[in-house]
Structure 1
């Protein structure tokens, strides 16, 4: 399966050993914009869907690690489950300790390069809660803008940020 490497990060498919880091994130206030603190069974199914997405689609969101460490610090990348209106690139960093270092941007840019390059996507969106100011700022730093015509995935309220293709980036 695909592994992406940036200057500071390694992005790899999720594995069972990443469950504790994902669980801790999902049960924390940090998850308020990605489903919120959920019942344990829901968190388990969500994590299993991350692994299953790779098996069914052949791609999926990547576990983010600092290169040289195998500790999961985030989940970033392509996501397109059945029923999703469009192919998405999403991101979440698991702890406050990894905020403010540019890791989310570095990983998201690598994921966007991957979906437009290796996967051959012609478009990608990010679904973001209006109150998620940090995620909205990241989308804008990546060159995305709100697409008022796009349909969200049914989570309400949701803004749809459309990412520019590489040839359309400034």
Structure 2
């Protein structure tokens, strides 16, 4: 496995999250926008969630990237590989912050994350766990070529979600 701390796409830079991203990420987890990922959180839980994002990199050598545009280092979302110890499968996750929707940033970053997971991390499979009422995330998963997999194991059986299975990017054209 090779870890890639930075990926550049046509319009974006995907980099390892850093301390300078704390306030923006915590603000997301405190907001109603975090409803699809168990929020809004308390300040302490939001802070610890950001620490988990950073720690994922230190423990596994990869994780969700801080997504920025090439014009600014201001984080606009978190996208990438996510697989805490109790997750049943490897996930490509995404969280886009206020004002970053509708420009294809999530699609562009998620495509890069999927390529990295399958090609560089040698993943054999990847899923995205999505709240049933999160229509934007469902649309993104489907645009990426993912299909609903009702037989996949739930990450939190007491809080069921939809599970979308991604094809290997080398096997599809997006």
Instruction: Say yes or no: TM over 0.5.
Output: yes
TM-score in terms of structure 1 length: 0.96
Residues 119-144 of structure 1 deviation map (CA, whole Å, 9 limit, x = unaligned): 11110000001100110000000000
Q: Does 1:64 align with 2:67?
A: yes
1:143-162 maps to which residues of 2 (within 5 A)?
143-154=145-156, 156-162=159-165
Query: Once structures 1 and 2 are overlaid, which stretch shifts more, 38-47 or 150-159?
Result: 150-159
Runs of 4+ deviating beyond 2 Å: none
2:27 to 5, 24, 27: 24
TM-score in terms of structure 2 length: 0.94
Distance 1:43 1:35 in 2: 11
1:8 alignment partner in structure 2: 11
Distance 1:87 1:34 in 2: 17
Q: Does 1:127 align with 2:114?
A: no
* Root-mean-square deviation (Å): 1.1
Residues 27-50 of structure 1 deviation map (CA, whole Å, 9 limit, x = unaligned): 111111012111111111111000
1:90 alignment partner in structure 2: 93
In structure 1, list runs of 5 or more residues that go unmatched: none
User: Any idea what SS the aligned residue of 1:117 has?
Assistant: helix
2:48 to 30, 45, 48: 45
Shift of 1:111: 0.3
Shift of 1:93: 0.7
1:118 to 95, 120, 131: 120
Counting matched residue pairs gives 169
User: Any idea what SS the aligned residue of 1:48 has?
Assistant: helix
Residues 95-153 of structure 1 deviation map (CA, whole Å, 9 limit, x = unaligned): 1x211000000000110011011111110000001100110000000000011110110
Distance 1:134 1:68 in 2: 25
2:78 alignment partner in structure 1: 75
In structure 2, list runs of 5 or more residues that go unmatched: none
